[in-house]
Every structure is written in C-alpha cells, then in structure tokens.
Amino acid sequence: MSSREVILLGSTGSIGTQALDVIRRNRDRFRVVGLAGGGGQVELLAAQALEFEVEAVAVARASTAQDLQLAFYTEAQRRGWSEGRFALPKILAGPDAATELASWRLGENGLVLNGITGSIGLAPTLAALTAGRTLALANKESLVAGGPLVRAVAKPGQIVPVDSEHSALAQCLRGGAPSEVRRLVLTASGGPFRGRKRSELAGVTVDDALAHPTWQMGPVVTINSATMVNKSLEVIEAHELFGLPYDRLDVVVHPQSLVHSMVEFVDGSTLAQVSPPDMRLPIALGLAWPDRVPEAAAAVDWTRAATWTFEPLDDDAFPAVNLAREVGQAGGCLPAIYNAANEECVAAFLAGALPFTGIVDTVRSVVESAEKADSRVGGLLDEPGSVEDVLSAERWARAEANSRAFGSDAGQAAEGSR
C-alpha cells in the first residue's frame, strides 16, 4: 500500500501536534508534504518541517518568514546536520498562505487536514475542496460560519470529520443505510456545572468555568464547554455534515466521556462509538479514512467494572443548544453571527465584563438584533456568497457583542479594528 500524502494546516496547535504524533508512528502509511502555522511558534514549525522533510511551509504572518528561515538553519545545526544535508522547504507567507498550501500538489489519494482554529480556516477549506482533495476537517467554523459555501463545492464523501463526536457519528452511520437513520445523538460531558440550575450559575467565577472535569483544552473551548456552546456548534456542524434536520439532532449528557456519540435507527436499535477520551483516535481515522490505524489509541478496558450514566440536557440552565437550533434553522449568516458573538462574549467573561450567564444571553440579544437590523444593514440573513460575506457578518456581530459587553465605544473600536 502506497503512503498517503498529507498537508497539515495548524500543525503547531493541539490537533496538529497530535496528528504528527500519529504520523510519526506510522511513517509507512503517511508522508507529510506541507505544514501551515500562524507564525507564533516558528521554532516548533521549523522542527516539524525538518523532521518530516516537507516540501512547503506556510505562515500567516508575512513578517515571520525570515524568522522561519533562520529557525530552519538553527534546527539543522541542533540536529548536527552539515550544510547541504537538508533541503529548505519553500516558504509561503501572508494571510493567504494556508489557502495556497491547501491546494498544493498531492498524490492521487492525498489529504488535507484542517486543524486551524477560527474562521480563518474557511478559505483553506474551500481551497482544498475546490482542488478535489479529501478534507479531514477539525475546523468547525468552516461548517458553522460557512456551511452554504462548503456545501456548494463539497462532493459526497469528500469531507471526513475529525471532531470526536462527528467522527463517532460517521463510524456509527456505517451500520445502516441513510433511510434507516432516525436521529443522531451527540454526547456532552456536561462540563464543570453539570447538574446546576440556572440560578446557581450567575455567580460562578472564571476559575470555576475553566475547571473542566475531563478534557484539557484552551480557555475559549473550555468556557464553551461550560456554557454548552461547544455542543451547540457541534449540532450545527452535524447538520451540515450529515444533512439531517435539527429536530433529528439530539444532545445527551454523558459525564464519563466514553461514548462519543450515537446513531438511533428506525427499528429502535442504537449504535454507539466507544473509546477513552483521546483525540488521536479520530485524528488517525481522519488521516486514514476509510481505513483504521492499528493501535492509534488505547481501547476501553472491559475487564474493569465501570458505570456509565446518561442525563437529559437542562435547556433552562444551558440554553445554547436550543438557540443554535433556531439559528441553524434560520440559516443565512446567523450561524456565523452566533459563533462570532460568542467568541467576544467569552472574552468579555474572561475579562470580568460579563457574568457567566451573560455569555449566552448576550449572544441571543446579538442574534435577535441581527434579525431586526437585516433590513437596515442588509445581507445578515442572506446565505453568504463569499468568504467576505461571512467575515463581514462576523465583524458586525463582534461589534454588537462588544457594545453590549463593554459599552458602545468598545463596540465601535472592535468594528474598526477588524
């Protein structure tokens, strides 16, 4: 079996470093052709590039291109390589560098793994799909903010989900025909506030919200897990990936985080994908799809007694999922507005400007304002026709969210800086 050529976008982040760990242990199966990073960790990016002997490296900050070149030489010296022993990768630099790399030449079964965080991952997603590449997708914003754009260019089966929940659903869906599927059930850990009522959440602190019981993640994703916004975005993502209407997408709280999602079929049976919480498994499956990578991660130890529990989501305490369903059903640029407003509200909570319950409450007010303002601003409820349409809606949402969290002057400053 020939090795699969891979372009990895976001190689210095959590998804990227774990993907390289999988590839490192399976050199006979994968060959890394290109890497892309933001430019904030040039030493790590250079080390990755030389270790995997890539052809090209992309950095989003044009000003770091020279720093990256120097880092190549420093890394080569650290490895004790003599001059001429290694070929310098081609450097692509600037805000469009990852997009250019996403359509880089690859072999027939080549794959692009998009592990970029944020809406800046949308343009590379579209470039990879337009170039005909198989896309292993961990950048949920591509589907949440740019779903209509992605649907317009993606061919059936071209996108392979890497998020653990959507990877689980893709695996379970192998167990039946599309006509046999009744509903998809995404599991949620419940975060640090599982079981609390809304009245008990108003005074929680930033440290409380960052104390996730299962996963070690960055602050934004951890807060999103605490508010259930992360799960709400996954509901929109599931709709875009699998095409089921929102009334057939459910969320259930499963604090053990061993059942990653489930598919219920029309005959009453349910298939669940089960594994310990380790992102290397869905990453490995995304890289090798439709095949599996042996020993990608540890399996459940079935010789040990364990208890798994499942609880309904408290929609009063955690209204984000229902709000996402409303936003997703309305469509247009509202999902992008929802996501962007939430990012600003999380920042405001971390800065002490919003209470915890104010995060989703403020997001709802921004969404409602978008529905009212559409006739004045124009385009907010229309399906985006370009990446710029998405970014424009996001800029509007960020300004609105900042205005509510910090005051009108902050909102105007935020709008002017984006």
Q: Residue 157, class by beta-carbon neighbours within 10 Å (0-12 exposed, 13-18 middle, 19+ buried)?
A: exposed
Ligand-binding annotation for 326, yes or no, is no
| Nearest alpha carbon to residue 233 among 87, 154, 340 | 340
Q: How far apart are CA 72 and CA 89, in angstroms?
A: 9
Q: Is 15 annotated as a binding residue?
A: yes
Classify residue 352 by its DSSP letter. T
Q: Residue 147 annotated as binding? A: no
Calpha distance 173→176 (Å, rounded): 6
Alpha helices in 199-276 (DSSP H): 206-210, 219-227, 229-242
Instruction: State whether residue 259 is helix, strand or coil.
Output: strand
Short-list 13, 115, 98, CA closest to 61: 98
Residue 119 known to bind ligand: no
**Residue 225 labelled as part of a binding site:** yes
Q: Is 14 annotated as a binding residue?
A: yes
Answer yes or no: is 189 a known binding residue.
yes
Q: Is 13 annotated as a binding residue?
A: yes
In the structure encoding, which two tokens stand for residue 313, read together? Answer: 């989501």
Enter the tokens of residue 116: 């970029």
Is residue 197 marked as binding?
no
Does the annotation place 392 within a ligand binding site? no
Q: Does 163 carry a binding-site annotation?
A: yes
Q: Is residue 16 part of an annotated ligand binding site?
A: no
CB neighbour class for 84 (10 Å; exposed up to 12, middle 13-18, buried from 19): exposed
Is 140 part of any known ligand binding site? yes
Query: For 118, what's the count of Cα atoms within 13 Å in the CB-facing half-sphere?
Result: 12
Is residue 309 packed enough to be buried (19+ CB in 10 Å), middle (13-18) or exposed (0-12)?
exposed
The answer to whether the annotation marks 141 as part of a ligand binding site is yes
List beta partners, residue 36.
Answer: 9, 58
Judge contact between 51 and 29, C-beta under 8 A: no
The Cα 249–Cα 178 span in angstroms is 14
- In this structure, what token pair is assigned to residue 51? 């270790």
DSSP for residue 81: P
Q: Has 40 been labeled as part of a binding site?
A: no
- Residue 212 labeled ligand binder: yes
257 annotated to bind ligand? no
358 is in an annotated binding site: no
Q: Which residues are annotated as a binding site for 1-deoxy-D-xylulose 5-phosphate?
A: 140, 164-165, 189, 212, 225, 230-231, 234
Q: Which residues are annotated as a binding site for Mn(2+)?
A: 163, 165, 234
- Annotated binding residues: 12-15, 38, 139-141, 163-165, 189, 212, 218, 225, 230-231, 234
Annotated binding residues for NADPH: 12-15, 38, 139, 141, 218
